[in-house]
Amino acid sequence: MKDVMRLPPELQPTNRRVEAFSDAVFAIAVTIMVLEIRVPDTLAFASDMAALEDFATLLAIYVLSFVVVGILWANHHYLVFTLPTSDRATIWLNNHVLFWVTMVPVVARFFGQHPTSPRATAAYAYVIMMCTFALTLLRRHAARVTENEVHRALHHRVFRRAWVAMALYAAAIPIAFMNIRISWALLLILPALFFLPVIRLQAAKDEVHRAMEHSRP
Amino acid sequence: MKDVMRLPPELQPTNRRVEAFSDAVFAIAVTIMVLEIRVPDTLAFASDMAALEDFATLLAIYVLSFVVVGILWANHHYLVFTLPTSDRATIWLNNHVLFWVTMVPVVARFFGQHPTSPRATAAYAYVIMMCTFALTLLRRHAARVTENEVHRALHHRVFRRAWVAMALYAAAIPIAFMNIRISWALLLILPALFFLPVIRLQAAKDEVHRAMEHSRP
Amino acid sequence: MKDVMRLPPELQPTNRRVEAFSDAVFAIAVTIMVLEIRVPDTLAFASDMAALEDFATLLAIYVLSFVVVGILWANHHYLVFTLPTSDRATIWLNNHVLFWVTMVPVVARFFGQHPTSPRATAAYAYVIMMCTFALTLLRRHAARVTENEVHRALHHRVFRRAWVAMALYAAAIPIAFMNIRISWALLLILPALFFLPVIRLQAAKDEVHRAMEHSRP
Amino acid sequence: MKDVMRLPPELQPTNRRVEAFSDAVFAIAVTIMVLEIRVPDTLAFASDMAALEDFATLLAIYVLSFVVVGILWANHHYLVFTLPTSDRATIWLNNHVLFWVTMVPVVARFFGQHPTSPRATAAYAYVIMMCTFALTLLRRHAARVTENEVHRALHHRVFRRAWVAMALYAAAIPIAFMNIRISWALLLILPALFFLPVIRLQAAKDEVHRAMEHSRP
């Protein structure tokens, strides 16, 4: 990596296109899921509780997947922002993230149509775990190449949380075959954790300020 | 919010990627609707009035949905333009807008295939109302964080119109079960209101000039 | 329009997002067409001349549509480049262009599946004509608001060609019902005309140089 | 080309939109492939080895296609970065690349559903070969119009490898009808070759340094 950084600037494109390509893949992954969500025709003029229940389940799993992809995108957004140039490692670690993001619609459909299947629940947990893992690999690269101590401190802070999330998603896989309700609970609670902003923001700020004091002595 | 604004610039990405991600979601939402619009095969060599009528209805609801998403995009365009940075609240209020925009193809398909169903009409009105509501929440955030009085004046001006639109979409929901024609009329008239530019432009300019006088004494 | 131009710069977003939204719609319109192009399963291990012929027709009409949308995009690219800001009229004349572009996959599918149907041929010609017409309306707006004489001269040059193209597409509609082969020929020849670069480039340059002499006396 | 370069800057848009349009097409091409990848319903609650095998094959060919499109995108990224303006030739050589990229989902689906079909294997090899060929034509144009010796040296370096790749993809076409396993091996090995970074990077750097010494005497 260090060697790549020494190439002349005319061989170092910025991250603009990595961002544009990623934004498009995230946007398509989140949007093509709705192609599967059809309001059942039987609901147009009559009450069909079974059809309504299937539709509500599919919709709920779409909402969950939308939130998960939204969290991944928000993390990706801040992460790529800290990367100065798009070297070869960045591009392929990023493509690795995008690959797992495109798998989300595949498992969301399977899970949405078979919500009581332990295998479907496990497959869904596995793909979200791999998305988080791929993003963590990209973040490790970002933490290594950056020369900005504030960014590095933030990356290290997020690592800890990411490993906790991955461990819980990994746990949800075998748990799905033992007690599927606990597995569902994990899939629901993990994104919700992301939305506890106050504590995290305060902690992040303290850490950032500490890092800033260290880097500007 | 105010606290977020005080973070150093290296922790504040611009809105460029929020815009790019949103543009892609809007564009896909508007375009995947055409995947459902198939010219009936029976129309290729013969006259089939029933098939033609179904196709014309589907096409008409696509045109309506294209205009509605176009109006939402145009509003979003000006709105995000007034937001200086992409803090956490901006990203998630924006994702909330995008979620409801991705619901438009779902209800457009249902409404397009069952135009005489009060439930389909109500579902369509509900989703458009929620799109407007989500955009209003984002606008409220924009009005709060901006330091530009001209932008704030414009936001406050649009609030009033947005609440009128939401109230009428909300009214269209129960009305669909009483007199579906009035509900259809509301769905058609509301976007048309947006295209009365002269009056609004003049009023907006007066208000902007008043705000500019206040802010540059 | 002139009035809009006098608004302060903080109320005038640039065309960046109009471009991004348009690029996404053009890209999706061109790409979702391939969702319809399935290599027939019967061709995997055996020769099935009928299936091959259907597939070849669908592929040929995809190639034609790709070229047509490519021409529209290239024109749109240069056209929006000449527009300094995105006022209300620009946005809605542009959305009008995008609407007709999203209709291309609809008629391409119908034409591809029923190539010998005069109605399908006419519908295809009609949509391409409307795309050209919508782009011409946007160009007329660009020619009106620009203060750059070189751009205006180029716009006026393209108008003449656009009207010829629209007249020939319009002619292809009734001709499809009289002699479908002539209609097909028109659909094939019109995009090909666009690829006679030398003559046009030379003429455009002469005209541009003339305009430049006039504007810099 | 040289003549085009002499046009005044107000007639020379940058490559920004060529990049944005291309990014969207690449992103959609890579993402719509997953629309075809459905986890078989029979796998939800039971073991169905035949369905699992079909699914695994489809998934494997999706992974291969994702990597191939990723390589094409990474090459396109660096290539367009070296192009200063978007002249007519750039746009149409680029559209030619995009056309073949949109063909990847078509042949990936055919190959994924009939992996043992020599014709499907050959069709897949043919489309990837044409993608590489189209990118090489664009690169030849870039090498011709650039005034940067470092870029030109890199382009000439890549040409040699591109011709080797094209020759091997071309060989995979007839080989598919003789010994399909060798053809599969070629399809798998060719992208893998791209991931031998050390040798190539060192060689590229030597060459770049040599070119820099020549251009700055």
For the stretch D84-125, pLDDT in tens is 777 888 899 999 999 999 999 999 999 999 999 999 999 999
* D64: pLDDT strictly greater than 80: yes
**Smallest Cβ distance to C21: which of B27, B34, B66?**
B27
- Are the Cβ atoms of C28 and B28 closer than 8 angstroms? yes
Q: Which residue has the tokens 């803090």?
A: B87
Q: Does the CB of D6 have a partner CB in chain C at under 8 Å?
A: no
Residues of A in contact with D199 (CB under 8 A): none
The residue in chain C having the minimum alpha-carbon distance to the alpha carbon of residue B69 is C95
Residues of B in contact with C105 (CB under 8 A): 34-35
**pLDDT tens, residue by residue, A127-156:** 999 999 999 999 999 988 888 888 888 888
Establish whether this prediction's ipTM goes over 0.90.
no
The residue in chain C having the minimum alpha-carbon distance to the alpha carbon of residue D119 is C44
**pLDDT tens, residue by residue, A62-111:** 999 999 999 999 989 888 888 877 788 889 999 999 999 999 999 999 99
Average pLDDT estimate for B29-39: 89
Angle, helices D118-145 vs D180-193, to 10°: value is: 30
Q: Please give the Cα distance from D98 to C80 (Å, whole number).
A: 22
Number of compact structural domains in chain D:
1
Q: Pick from C122, C123, C121: which is nearest to C173 by CA? A: C122
The residue in chain A having the minimum alpha-carbon distance to the alpha carbon of residue D84 is A10
- Are the Cβ atoms of B11 and A77 closer than 8 angstroms? no
**Smallest Cβ distance to B74: which of C16, C29, C91?**
C91
In this predicted structure, what is the pLDDT of residue A217? Answer: 39
Least-confidence region, from A81-95, B177-191, B197-211: B197-211
Q: Please give the Cα distance from C137 to C166 (Å, whole number).
A: 12
**pLDDT tens, residue by residue, D139-188:** 999 988 888 888 888 888 888 888 889 999 999 999 999 999 999 999 99
In this predicted structure, what is the pLDDT of residue D196? Answer: 54
> What does pLDDT average to over chain D?
84
Q: Does the CB of A26 have a partner CB in chain B at under 8 Å?
A: yes
> What does pLDDT average to over chain B?
84
- Are the Cβ atoms of C13 and B39 closer than 8 angstroms? no
- Domain span at residue A66 reads 2-215
Q: Which of C15, C16, C39 would you mutate first to test chain D, the one with the most D CBs within 10 A?
A: C39
Low-confidence spans in chain C with pLDDT less than 70 = 1-12, 195-217
CB contacts < 8 Å between B and C, how many? 94
Chain D closest-CA separation from residue C208 CA (Å): 9
- Are the Cβ atoms of A106 and D41 closer than 8 angstroms? no
Q: Does the CB of D61 have a partner CB in chain C at under 8 Å?
A: no
**pLDDT tens, residue by residue, B129-174:** 999 999 999 999 998 888 888 888 888 888 888 888 899 999 999 9
- Are the Cβ atoms of C7 and B208 closer than 8 angstroms? yes
pTM recorded for the entire structure: 0.88
- Are the Cβ atoms of D31 and A29 closer than 8 angstroms? yes
